[in-house]
Chains A and B, each alone.
Chain A
Amino acid sequence: MNDKKRIQHEKMGMYQARQEMPSVTANPKQEDEELQQLAGSLAAFDARAYSKIETQLKQHLLTRMEHQQAYAKPANRPQHLRRFSLAALAAAVLLVVVFLSVPPLRAAADNLFIQIGKMFINNNPTDAEEYVAVMQSGTPTATIDPNWECNDCPEPQIMGKLSGDQASEQAGYHVLEPAYIPQGYELSTRDVLNTGATITTSTDYRMELEEPLHDGMQSAGIIAIGQTSFLAEAQPWESSVGDVPIVEVTVRRNPGAWLEQVPVYPFQDAEGNWQYAYWNQLVWSEDGFNFMIQTNMPVDLLPMEEIMKIAESMK
């Protein structure tokens, strides 16, 4: 429909609507003028005066953008490097096609994704997302059975609160501890988990929230630090983070990645709908260890630079 016809069409619609509407005043001309005046007032109404966050929000967004650019390796590359990157990208795409189409090589295709130590980060659905998909479909898979009921489950293991020295002794390596933790957070648990192939020290810092988040579902802020050693012959493992940007960063002069809003834990709300707890994660590899600092706090309350600060203070 062209513009002339469109306006004519709208005009006919107005006429039709007018016939159906009760008249408020006895004078249709006055009525039209008032209507125009109202339309003008609505269009001219400046709502900004009602906002208390316009400036702060802008500052927050711009700062976040600057940080993302500062920590993301591909940003601000010179033009000639971009051209070179395009050629490299084309070669990489070709490589992926070859890898994926030749079965024996398919297993190695994961190597094309970001590697942090022995961990390969990819954008496949997280374990939580796979779990929810299976629960919703009702169809069991090799690892998840939606109809499984636990009749003889062991009591959930209560995490200990080891000191740094005790944890180091138990883990058999020096456990790094942060010299900096944001205000309000306190050591909650520290324990060592030995799977044979890996030894992980998990340390949680916790702060009770005065105002719960996510419609009252989150009552505490948690900063969890993990340090994992693995046997030299241990197989690399995959870490699927779902559809979130994998931002490459440098942590303590080592390669790392920043992941925002990873769906980590599934749960059902009061209506029985599946929801996720979203965590932000900083991962890096250093001296043969894999490290992860993750938090359930949103970036406006605990931004990436704070997590970086914790990482940089570890010793």
Chain B
Amino acid sequence: MSTDLRINRALTMETSQEAIQDQGEDNLAITAVSDVQAFSRLYDVYFPRLFKYILFRVYDEHLADDLVSDVFERLLNQLPRFIPGKAPFSAWVFGIARHVVADALRRRSRQRWLSLESLSGHSETESPVEKGLEEHDQVERLRGALRTLTSRENDLVSLKFSSGLTNRQIAALTGLRENNVGIILFRALTKLRHEMTRQEE
């Protein structure tokens, strides 16, 4: 198998599996409108994905916590308006998340009161988590590298590796062509690796 195809496979979910997963999540979302247990399961499935997407986009844990709360508040309010079949539930949810993040980034760019701490993505008091130093270094390098991406590249990488959406679904969500999504993702990954290698040196 060629390397390109292998990378492509790594970036593309199996279609049949994806369809089953979409349908399962759509059904869960419909049940979650009136069933607390179903909403609880939906939260367990989506919190890690949404938080990861937002963290990749804003680089700041506190802000990511605030924004993921905002997304779930909106999700709870708007869940009855979800129309199955129009788009997969995951695309609908990540559409909300993208708006919330875009609003936050717009606000951040307008406001001057943000501390240097939050702009740098971490503070002295918030040592991320009790993790191995090596892993911590790697994560910090990754976060540093993510900052070198353009907003669109960052959006696509964050969506790709947190939402579980296919390139086709990401294309529908972002208004790009499917082929462009693949190209931008490939470029962004290469850029990330380049930057991480540079930081290592």
A positions within 8 Å CB-CB of B? 1, 3, 6-7, 9-18, 20-21, 24, 28-29, 31-32, 34-36, 38-43, 45-54, 57-58, 61-62, 64-66, 69, 75, 215-216, 245, 260, 271, 300
Contact = CB atoms under 8 A, between A and B. Distances in A.
B10 A13 contact: no
Contacts of A62: 36, 39-40, 43
B179 A13 contact: yes
Interface string B22-46: 0000000000001010011001100
A48 B182 contact: no
A173 B28 CA distance: 52
Nearest to A50: B61
Contact of B190 (A21, A40, A48): A21
B68 A51 contact: yes
Given A6-B168, A62-B39, A47 B51 contact: yes
Given A14-B182, A14-B183, A51 B7 contact: no
B186 A36 contact: no
The 3 closest A-B pairs by CB, nearest first: A47-B52, A32-B3, A10-B182
B168 A14 contact: no
Candidate in A9, A20, A35, A40 with the most chain B CB atoms within 10 angstroms: A35
Nearest to B60: A50
A6 B9 CA distance: 12
A53 B8 contact: no
A117 B182 CA distance: 60
B167 interface: yes
Nearest to A25: B197
B7 A13 contact: no
Nearest to B195: A24
A51 B5 CA distance: 35
A39 B11 contact: yes
17 contacts: A10-B11, A14-B183, A24-B194, A28-B3, A31-B193, A36-B6, A36-B7, A38-B196, A39-B7, A41-B138, A42-B157, A42-B160, A47-B51, A47-B64, A50-B128, A51-B47, A53-B68
Contacts of A300: 69, 73
Contacts of B111: 215
Contact of B197 (A12, A24, A52, A65): A24
A12 B164 CA distance: 22
B8 A49 contact: no
A32 B48 CA distance: 28
Interface string B122-148: 000000110100000011001000000
Nearest to A42: B161
A62 B40 CA distance: 7
B183 A65 contact: no
Interface in B48-84: 48, 51-52, 55-56, 61, 64-65, 68-69, 72-73, 76-77
A7 B12 contact: yes
Given A24-B197, A64-B76, A216-B113, A11 B8 contact: yes
Give the interface centre of B44, B48, B182, B196 by most chain A CB atoms within 10 Å.
B182
A172 to B, nearest CB: 41
B193 A6 contact: no
Contacts of A47: 48, 51-52, 55-56, 64, 162
Contacts of A54: 47, 51
A46 B139 CA distance: 11
A14 B52 contact: no
B51 A10 contact: no
Nearest to A20: B187
A50 B68 contact: no
